[in-house]
């Protein structure tokens, strides 16, 4: 009987709990439903102001479009206002669902050659309305081949190929400031000669084409300020070749493959920029040689060369910057610095799995800085130099595999931070008083530190450069005003001090002047 009553009580409690639970569930569900029942009103954001076509000729229609997004929950109608050079031209209305988006577009024809400011509700973009191009196409265009258009073109003219056809024979740019847009077309050689020749002309833009089966795909001879972009060249004997002081040119977003010798070659040519290209399956990917200096070779892929190296500097090719490139799986070296090529910066490259060395320095190439590279599992060695080279700096490289030359590879650990100290005056690294060491070279010219001082506290900083180097010391107030500086000659120690007149972060900067190496730093507050 007692047991039966207990069972009854338990069942009753269970039923009561179920009822209370259900009430709670209904209550909270209603609360939730009520929250969902107050949707936000329509609210609009405009983005992606675009032009189609992107290059517009005078008298041609251009479609100006933008995306209107409704970030509210309720449907709403938006009024988009198109302004050209500050004047309202047209309003358009578009109804957009809650959380939805729509594209609005306006079609405009401009009859004057000019750069217009296009604005849709605060979003602005410049639209250049261009002089008509000299148009080339197999049928139905004023020119059926490309060279006659180049012969007619005046400085500043554009030549545009209107089909993606194959055109046989060589081309030559004959005036300054020519824009040649292949628009997907190919020029095809018969195994010799030059695809495109630029001899003493400047400011050309050559873009969007393919060059195949020539002796040289393109030569620039004493030609400056030209831009080669979005081109592809393949199956030539030699790829692109700069010579005789072809300076300040740019090769970007191009692809050089299966050329018998060099993909991209600079000879006696300086201050050029080679960036974002792919040069693969050639003999040498990128070849910078014979006094070619101050070139920037950045963010290229120069992997898989069939006979030699990814990137080669040779013949007094000095002061070049080889940065952020990938040079993997080449037949010989990833990156080679050869025959008296000095003061180059080789930084942030990835050079793995090459048959020879990842990075090799040879034949009197001195004072190069090899830093922050990833050099892994190259077959012969990772980073190597021969006995004729001196003053090369190996810093913070990551290596693994045979012969990795780890003893030469300084790992930068400024003031115990485990890395380079900030090189930015406005963002110094915070330090507590004490004794430290740090490293500077001609590519890392500032190490910036800071400490918080209260008004009346006095800071003293002392720094001794390594033997053979000259570094200096600067002390700044919280607004980067100069409190003190010390510029002794040679390897003399430097000392700066000051008393804070208000509370805040004072900063002190070890500044490079000459030489390479590890300085000692001590500072205290009294
Ligand atoms: Ca440093
Ligand atoms: Ca630094
Ligand atoms: Ca000094």
Please tell me whether the peptide bond between 53 and the residue prior to it is cis, using omega within 30 degrees of 0: yes
Angle among Cα 10, 12, 13 to the nearest 5 degrees reads: 65
198 Cα: distance to centroid of ligand 1 (angstroms): 44
- Positive or negative, the CA dihedral 490, 491, 492, 495 is positive
Cβ 448 vs Cβ 422: under 8 Å: yes
Cβ 194 vs Cβ 166: under 8 Å: no
447 Cα: distance to centroid of ligand 2 (angstroms): 4
339 Cα: distance to centroid of ligand 2 (angstroms): 30
The CATH classification number of 414-525 equals 2.60.120.380
406 Cα: distance to centroid of ligand 3 (angstroms): 30
- Predicted local confidence at residue 1, as pLDDT: 45
414 Cα: distance to centroid of ligand 1 (angstroms): 6
The per-residue pLDDT for range 274-297, each reduced to its tens digit, is: 999 999 999 999 999 999 999 999
- Predicted local confidence at residue 405, as pLDDT: 65
422 Cα: distance to centroid of ligand 2 (angstroms): 5
The per-residue pLDDT for range 406-424, each reduced to its tens digit, is: 556 777 899 999 899 999 9
445 Cα: distance to centroid of ligand 3 (angstroms): 13
- Predicted local confidence at residue 38, as pLDDT: 85
509 Cα: distance to centroid of ligand 1 (angstroms): 11
| Fold observed for domain 177-182+199-410 | Pectate Lyase C-like (2.160.20)
Neighbours of ion ligand 3 (CB under 5 A): 470, 472, 488
3-state secondary structure of 330: coil
* Torsion of Cα atoms, 310 then 313 then 319 then 320, to 10°: -30
Q: How far is CA 364 from CA 17, 290, 434, 456, in A?
A: 89, 14, 41, 55
* CA of 439, nearest ligand number: 1
375 Cα: distance to centroid of ligand 1 (angstroms): 21
465 Cα: distance to centroid of ligand 3 (angstroms): 8
* CA of 445, nearest ligand number: 2
The CATH classification number of 44-130 equals 2.60.40.10
User: Quick one: which of 370, 366, 368 has its CA closest to 389?
Assistant: 366
Which residues of the chain have a pLDDT value below 50? 1-2, 10, 24, 26
Cβ 382 vs Cβ 405: under 8 Å: yes
Report DSSP state, residue 176. S
506 Cα: distance to centroid of ligand 3 (angstroms): 21
Regarding beta strands 166-168 and 56-57, do their DSSP bridges make them parallel or antiparallel, or are they unpaired? unpaired
Cβ-based burial of 294 (10 A; exposed 0-12, middle 13-18, buried ≥19): middle
402 Cα: distance to centroid of ligand 1 (angstroms): 28
472 Cα: distance to centroid of ligand 3 (angstroms): 4
440 Cα: distance to centroid of ligand 2 (angstroms): 7
The per-residue pLDDT for range 57-97, each reduced to its tens digit, is: 999 999 999 999 999 999 999 999 999 999 999 999 999 99
Cβ-based burial of 408 (10 A; exposed 0-12, middle 13-18, buried ≥19): middle
How far is the C-alpha of 114 from the C-alpha of 131, rounded, in Å? Answer: 9
- Positive or negative, the CA dihedral 125, 131, 136, 139 is positive
């Amino acid at each position: 009987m007692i047991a039966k009553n207990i069972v009854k009580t338990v069942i009753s409690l269970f039923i009561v709990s179920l009822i209370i639970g259900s009430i709670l569930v209904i209550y909270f569900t209603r609360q939730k439903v009520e929250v969902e029942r107050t949707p936000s009103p329509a609210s609009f954001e405009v983005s992606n102001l675009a032009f189609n076509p992107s290059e517009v000729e005078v008298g041609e229609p251009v479609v100006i479009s933008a995306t209107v997004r409704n970030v509210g929950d309720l449907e709403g109608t938006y009024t988009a206002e198109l302004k050209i050079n500050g004047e309202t031209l047209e309003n358009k209305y578009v109804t957009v669902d809650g959380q939805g988006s729509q594209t609005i577009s306006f079609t405009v024809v401009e009859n004057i050659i000019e750069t217009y400011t296009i604005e849709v509700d605060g979003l602005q973009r410049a639209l250049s309305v261009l002089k008509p191009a000299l148009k080339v196409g197999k049928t139905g265009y004023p020119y059926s081949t490309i060279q006659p258009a180049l012969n007619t073109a005046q400085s500043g003219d554009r030549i545009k190929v209107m089909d993606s056809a194959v055109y046989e024979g060589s081309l030559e740019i004959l005036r300054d400031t020519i824009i040649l847009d292949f628009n997907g077309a190919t020029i095809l050689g018969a195994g010799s000669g030059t695809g495109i020749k630029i001899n003493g002309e400047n400011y050309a833009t050559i873009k969007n084409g393919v060059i195949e089966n020539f002796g040289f795909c393109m030569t620039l001879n004493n030609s400056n300020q030209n831009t080669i972009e979005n081109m592809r060249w393949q199956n030539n004997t030699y790829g692109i070749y700069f010579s005789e002081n072809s300076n300040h040119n740019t090769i970007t977003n191009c692809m050089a493959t299966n050329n018998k010798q060099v993909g991209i070659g600079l000879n006696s040519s300086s201050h050029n920029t080679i960036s974002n290209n792919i040069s693969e399956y050639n003999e040498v990917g990128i070849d910078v040689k014979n006094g070619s200096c101050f070139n920037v070779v950045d963010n290229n892929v120069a992997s898989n060369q069939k006979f030699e190296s990814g990137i080669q500097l040779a013949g007094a090719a000095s002061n070049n910057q080889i940065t952020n490139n990938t040079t993997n799986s080449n037949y010989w070296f990833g990156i080679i610095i050869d025959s008296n090529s000095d003061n180059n910066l080789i930084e942030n490259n990835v050079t793995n799995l090459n048959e020879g060395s990842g990075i090799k320095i040879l034949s009197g190439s001195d004072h190069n800085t090899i830093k922050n590279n990833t050099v892994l599992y190259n077959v012969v060695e990772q980073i190597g130099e021969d006995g004729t080279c001196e003053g090369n700096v190996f810093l913070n490289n990551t290596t693994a595999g045979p012969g990795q030359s780890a003893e030469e590879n300084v790992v930068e650990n400024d003031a115990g931070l485990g890395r380079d100290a900030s090189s930015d005056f406005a963002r110094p690294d915070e330090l507590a008083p004490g004794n430290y060491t740090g490293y500077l070279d001609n590519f890392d010219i500032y190490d910036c530190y800071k400490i918080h001082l209260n008004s009346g506290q006095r800071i003293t900083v002392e720094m001794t450069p390594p033997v053979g180097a000259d570094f200096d010391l600067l002390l700044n107030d919280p607004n980067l005003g100069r409190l003190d500086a010390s510029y002794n000659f040679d390897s003399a120690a430097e000392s700066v001090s000051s008393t804070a007149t208000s509370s805040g972060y004072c900063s002190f900067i070890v500044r490079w002047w000459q030489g390479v190496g590890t300085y000692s730093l001590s500072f205290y507050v009294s």
